Chains A and B, each alone.
Chain A
Amino acid sequence: MQTVKMVVTGPFNAGKTEFIRSVSEIDVVSTERKISSDFEKSIKEATTVAMDFGRITVDEDLVLYLFGTPGQRRFDFMWEILSEGMLGFIVMVDSTRPETFREARSILETFHAYAPTPYVVAANKQDMKEAWEIEDMRHVLRLDSKVKLITCVATDRDSVKAILLELLYSILSEMENGGK
C-alpha cells in the first residue's frame, strides 16, 4: 500500500478540523481538548492539540492522508514533524477574523521554510456576511498573484474538494515544470 500526505494548517479556529471532516472517509481522528483560556473559549469550546487525521482511499494501492495541525502557537513544535514528507499544504484562513491574518501569513512562511512544496490558501467562512473580500485578503496576507487564494466553506464538501484539486493541479504543474 502506497501512502501520500497533505497538511492542513492555519491559525486557531480557522476551520482545519471541519475541512478534513468534510472529505475524510473515516471519522477524523481528532486530538481535541477542552480550551482552558477564557479568550479562546469565547471562540470555541475545544481545540486540536496535536493533530487531526483524515483518510481518503484512492484505490486498493494508494491512500491519501490529511493531517490537520494544531492552531495554537504553543503547539507549533508539532508543525515540523507534521510537515515531513508532505505532498503539499493548505493554509486555512478565517475570512471573518482579520486579527488572525498576520498569524496566517507567519504560519505560511514557516511551513514553506520547512518544506518548499506547493501550497494553496483557503479563505474559509466565505458564506458568512462579515467575511472579507478575497482580493482584500490577498493584499493583507501579502500573497503574490501567482499564489492560489481560493474561497472556501470548510463544511461544504464541494468547496473542500475544489481546494484539494487546486493543490493537486499545482503539484502536477510543478512536476511538469521540473520542480520536483
Chain B
Amino acid sequence: MTLRGNLRDFTISQLLNLINLANKTGTLVVEGPSETAEVAFRDGKLAYAQIDQEDGSLASVLHKAKKLSSGQYRSIQQGAAHISDKELGLLLINAGYLSQEDILTNLQQHFTDIIQRLFTWVEGFFHFDNDSLPPDDRISVRLDLENLIIEGSRQMREWEQLQDEIPSLDMALKFSDRPGTNMRKVNLSIEEWRVVSYINPRNTIRQIASATKMSDLEIRRIVYGLLQAGLVETTRLEGASRLVPTVRVFPTEDKEQQKSLVNRLIDRIRSL
C-alpha cells in the first residue's frame, strides 16, 4: 500500500524515522502550504532533495554557498545551461576549481537545509513513491537520517517556541525608546546587522526576511534575539490601514456622546 497521508496526523520526523527503519528506496513528495518538496532516499539514506519552485541545480547550490561568483553563475546559466549537474561537477573538478569533496559537502548541506525546512511544515499532504529516484544526471548523496531527525526535532521545538514569541511576521519593528541604549556598542553578527538595517515601522518582519533572503526560522531567530536584548519592539505597520472592526466600537459617531458614554460606564462601575 502506498504511504500517503496528512502532516497533521504524521509528522516529518515520524516519516523520516519510518523511511530510515524500513530502509526504504523511493521519493517522498510533500505538498506544503505554498510549495512542494521532493526528497529521494536510497536504502533508508537521504539521496536528494528539491523544492519545486526553487533552482536546485548544482550551479545554483554552489553560487548560494559562495563557491561560484555571480559572474561565473551567470556564465554557466547562459553558456552551459544544457550541461547536466554531473557534467558540470566533472568540469569543475577537472579544472581544479573545486574538489569532489567540496561539491558533495555543499550538496549535502543544501539537501539538509531542505529537510530542516520541512520540519517547519505542519500542514500538508505527503505520499511516498516506491523506487522512484531522481534523474541520473543529478548528483545524489548518501546521508544517514538519524542526525537529521534529532536536529530536526530540536529545531521543531525551537520553531514552536519562536512562533509563540513572534506569532505573526506581518508586524513591524521599531527601535526601543530606552535611554542609554547605543546600537553601535552592541556586538551583533553580520546577519543581525543586515536585519537591523531594515528595522523601520514601515517594514514588516516578512519584508525584512525577503530583503535579507532569510527563511521564516532564521528571521524569527534573529528578531527574537533582538527583542530579548530589549533593542527592538514589535509595532503595528506604519501607514497600513488600521483594522476597521466590522462591528462599531461605539453606538454613536459623535465624539462628545462617546465621551459621555465612557463617563457613564465609569460611574456605573464605581457604583458596583
Contacts and interface: CB of A to CB of B under 8 A. Distances in A.
Interface stretch (B18-26, B61-69, B164-172): B164-172
Interface of A: 2-4, 23, 56-59, 62, 64, 83-87, 102-103, 105-106, 109-110, 112-117, 142, 144, 157, 161, 164-165, 168-169, 171-172, 175-176, 180
B269 interface: yes
B159 to A, nearest CB: 14
A161 B272 contact: yes
Contact of B266 (A57, A144, A157, A172): A172
B164 A56 contact: no
A170 B76 CA distance: 63
Contacts of A168: 262, 265-266, 269
Interface residues of B, number: 34
Contacts of A176: 259
Contacts of A84: 245-247
Contacts of B262: 87, 168, 171-172, 175
15 contacts: A2-B251, A4-B249, A23-B272, A56-B269, A56-B272, A57-B268, A83-B245, A85-B247, A87-B249, A102-B164, A113-B171, A142-B233, A144-B233, A161-B272, A180-B249
A68 to B, nearest CB: 17
A36 B170 CA distance: 34
B248 interface: yes
B97 interface: no
Contact of B264 (A59, A106, A114, A169): A59
Contacts, number: 95
Contacts of A57: 268
A113 B249 CA distance: 16
Interface of B: 164-165, 167-168, 170-171, 227, 230, 233-234, 236, 242-243, 245-252, 255, 258-259, 261-266, 268-270, 272
Nearest to B236: A116
Contacts of A109: 167-168, 171, 234
Contacts of A142: 227, 230, 233
B167 A56 contact: no
B166 to A, nearest CB: 8
A146 to B, nearest CB: 10
A161 B269 contact: yes
Nearest to A3: B251
Contacts of A112: 236
A96 B170 CA distance: 32
Nearest to B250: A4
Nearest to B168: A113
A130 B2 CA distance: 54
Contact of A116 (B168, B242, B252, B272): B242
B270 A175 contact: no
A62 B260 CA distance: 11
Contacts of A4: 249-251, 261, 265
A99 to B, nearest CB: 11
B260 to A, nearest CB: 10
Contacts of A106: 164-165, 167
A90 to B, nearest CB: 13
Nearest to A162: B269
Given A87-B250, A117-B249, A180-B249, 14 more contacts: A2-B252, A2-B261, A58-B265, A59-B268, A64-B265, A87-B262, A103-B164, A106-B167, A115-B243, A142-B227, A172-B266, A175-B255, A180-B255, A180-B258
Most buried by A among B171, B230, B261, B263: B261
Contacts of B170: 113
Contacts of A117: 249
Given A142-B227, A168-B262, A56 B268 contact: yes
Contacts of A172: 259, 262-263, 266
A165 B269 contact: yes
A110 B234 CA distance: 11
